[in-house]
């Protein structure tokens, strides 16, 4: 049936050729000769003729000329029309509203326009003209739709540009379209989850992070981002599950073990957190954040043990002394790591403040005074 429609359309085209106005013939002829300035002049005159307003082939001719202007590399033709892509799209749309069979006949030209619209959108995005980029990506999506093609990359680009332009509603709408179409774009799921975090909808944020973990288990960045989403919404146990699986797959990746250590620390799995941080430092000895976090882990353990000791009754002096020594051991381990961190970043006040607390607990008042002086100097 479709072949019959195309055949009939071709018959119609043949009939129309003989009925074409002089201006329309000139436009088509000049386009074939690649004289785009003359083609543009001719098509504008042709479209002023009332008969051509309902002539699908006239609109197709106009669409082709504007598309040619959009893609030309010849400098003398580049500025014939400031916005050829939207005009070409509008012309194609009008032609197909008059006769949908012309979609098949103009398939190649439609594809060229879709590619050019997408490339223009990319250029506008890179220039940070995000709202204009949205419009170009929409033309890409809609032009591809004429050919029956679902442009999920174009939809993703609309969402990305809309978010950059501050339109989170549109961004969410198009990310959902991409995800619901099952597109192989992990960033769409991650970015959608981030929008849900902005909306304080942590259930949906976790849902889409889990979909990433299920669908893109062999994609390192996708999995790291999925775990990061769970860390942000305080789903530490789920984050640790994802990261522990990654630790087997990426046994030599310090970032994985650092993130795993952070997740374990949040759910009070101190031993596992320490092992993860130590593995991080085996792989990358100068990993500042791992050194800092390991120091904080030991410090927090020391504080917990010290609180446990302070809650004992006076009658349990022996146990109190044992717990106090255990806490001090933790404080000394913490000091060792944080002193190393401070050598790496000598002006880090956060490190200094924790060290001050450690030195206070250990009764090292000379070091407390020295750190206080340094903090005061840096705070001026």
Asked, for residue 61, whether it belongs to a domain, the answer is yes
Q: Which residue has the tokens 């889990």?
A: 210
Alpha-carbon span 65 to 84, nearest angstrom? 9
User: Is residue 110 included in any domain, yes or no?
Assistant: no
> In the listed set 217, 238, 273, which residue is the last one of a domain according to the structure?
273
Q: Please, which pLDDT band fits residue 96 given cuts at 50, 70 and 90?
A: confident
In a domain, 212, yes or no: yes
The pLDDT value given to residue 20: 61
- d(CA 311, CA 319) in angstroms, rounded, equals 11
Per-residue pLDDT averaged across 139-166, rounded?
A: 95
8-12, 142-146, 280-284, 366-370: range with lowest mean pLDDT: 8-12
262: number of Cβ within 10 Å = 22
pLDDT at site 103: 59
* Contacting residues for 49 by C-beta, under 8 A, at least 6 apart: 21, 23, 24
Helix (H) / strand (E) containing 121: helix 107-126
The reported pLDDT for the residue numbered 157 is: 98
Residue 211 CB neighbour total at 10 angstroms: 17
Confidence band, pLDDT 50/70/90 cuts, at residue 7? very low
Nearby residues of 55 by Cβ (< 8 Å), 6 or more positions away: 16, 24, 98
In this prediction, residue 144 has a pLDDT band, given cuts at 50, 70 and 90, of: very high
| pLDDT computed for residue 6 by the predictor | 36
- What's the confidence (pLDDT) of residue 102? 63
Q: Considering only CA atoms, which of 252, 261, 211, 254 is closest in space to residue 231?
A: 261
**Rounded Cα distance, 122 and 133, in Å:** 7
Residue 352 lies in a domain: no
**Residue 12 pLDDT > 70:** no
Q: How confident is residue 256, by pLDDT bands cut at 50, 70 and 90?
A: very high
Burial class (CB in 10 A: 0-12, 13-18, 19+), 15: exposed
The 10s digit of each residue's pLDDT in 196-206 is 999 999 999 99
For the chain, the average pLDDT equals: 91
Number of domains in the chain: 2
- In a domain, residue 34? The reply is yes
pLDDT at 18 over 70: no
Residue 170's pLDDT is 98
Distance, in Å, from the CA atom of 301 to the CA atom of 327, rounded to the nearest integer, reads: 7
Range with the poorest average pLDDT among 99-108, 203-212, 288-297, 357-366:
99-108
So what's the pLDDT on residue 105? 63
| Containing structural domain, residue 59 | 21-105
Residue with tokens 């018959």: 11
35 in any annotated domain: yes
For residues 201 and 221, the answer to whether their CB atoms sit within 8 Å is: no
Is it the case that residue 372 has pLDDT exceeding 80? yes
Q: Lowest mean pLDDT: which of 12-16, 103-107, 231-235, 270-274?
A: 12-16
Confidence of residue 13 (pLDDT cuts 50, 70, 90): very low
Sorting pLDDT into bands at 50, 70 and 90, what band is 27? confident
Q: Does residue 359 form part of some domain? A: no
What's this model's pTM, rounded to 2 decimal places? 0.81
Write the pLDDT tens digit of every residue in 299-315.
999 999 999 999 989 88
Domain assignment present for residue 239? The answer is yes
pLDDT value at residue 242 = 97
For residue 296, how far is the Cα from the chain centroid?
32
CA distance 117 to 327: 65
The string of DSSP letters for 132-162 reads: HHHHHHHHHHHHHHHTT---HHHHHHHHHHH
Q: What angle do CA 104, 106, 112 make, to 5 degrees?
A: 120
Q: List the one residue out of 27, 19, 15, 22 whose CA is nearest residue 60.
A: 27
pLDDT at residue 358, as a whole number: 95
Residue whose token pair is 């051509």: 52
Dihedral Cα 360, 364, 366, 369, nearest 10 deg: -10
The answer to whether residue 240 scores a pLDDT higher than 90 is: yes
Look at residue 78 in the predicted model and tell me its pLDDT.
85
Mean pLDDT within 87-95: 93
Which of 2-11, 42-51, 364-373 is predicted with the least confidence, judged by mean pLDDT? 2-11
The residue among 241, 273, 305 that closes a domain is: 273
Cα torsion 291, 293, 297, 303: sign: positive
**Domain final residue, candidates 273, 300, 318:** 273
Residue 5 has pLDDT above 60, yes or no: no
Q: Could you write out the DSSP letters of every residue in 257-300?
A: HHHHHHHHHHTT-HHHHHHHHHHHHHH-TT-HHHHHHHHHHHHH
């Amino acid at each position: 049936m479709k072949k019959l429609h195309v055949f009939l359309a071709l018959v119609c085209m043949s009939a129309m050729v003989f009925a074409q106005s002089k201006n329309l013939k000139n436009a088509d002829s000049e386009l074939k000769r690649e004289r785009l300035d003359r083609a543009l002049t001719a098509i504008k005159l042709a479209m002023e003729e009332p008969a051509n307003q309902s002539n699908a082939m006239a609109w197709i001719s106009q669409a082709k000329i504007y598309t040619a202007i959009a893609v030309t590399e010849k400098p003398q033709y580049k500025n014939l029309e400031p916005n050829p892509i939207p005009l070409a799209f509008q012309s194609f749309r009008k032609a197909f509203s008059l006769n949908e069979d012309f979609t098949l006949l103009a398939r190649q030209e439609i594809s060229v326009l879709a590619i050019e619209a997408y490339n223009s959108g990319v250029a506008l995005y890179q220039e940070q003209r995000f709202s204009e980029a949205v419009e170009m990506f929409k033309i890409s999506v809609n032009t591809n739709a004429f050919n029956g093609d679902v442009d999920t990359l174009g939809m993703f680009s609309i969402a990305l540009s809309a978010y950059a332009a501050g339109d989170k509603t549109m961004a969410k709408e198009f990310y959902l379209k991409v995800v619901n179409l099952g597109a192989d774009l992990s960033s769409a799921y991650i970015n959608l989850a981030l929008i849900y975090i902005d909306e304080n909808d942590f259930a949906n944020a976790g849902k889409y992070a889990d979909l990433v973990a299920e669908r893109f288990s062999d994609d390192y960045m996708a999995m790291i981002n999925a775990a990061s989403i769970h860390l942000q919404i305080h789903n530490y146990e789920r984050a640790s599950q994802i990261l522990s699986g990654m630790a087997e797959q990426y046994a030599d990746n310090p970032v994985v073990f650092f993130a795993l250590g952070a997740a374990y620390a949040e759910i009070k799995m101190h031993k596992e957190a320490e092992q993860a941080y130590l593995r991080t430092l085996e792989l990358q000895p100068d990993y500042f954040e791992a050194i800092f976090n390991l120091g904080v882990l030991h410090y927090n353990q020391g504080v917990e043990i010290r609180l446990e000791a302070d809650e004992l009754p006076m009658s349990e002096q022996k146990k109190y002394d044992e717990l106090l020594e255990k806490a001090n051991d933790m404080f000394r381990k913490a000091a060792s790591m944080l002193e190393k961190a401070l050598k790496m970043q000598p002006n880090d006040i956060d490190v200094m403040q924790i060290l001050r607390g450690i030195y206070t607990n250990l009764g090292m008042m000379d070091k407390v005074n020295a750190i206080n002086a340094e903090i005061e100097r840096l705070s001026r």
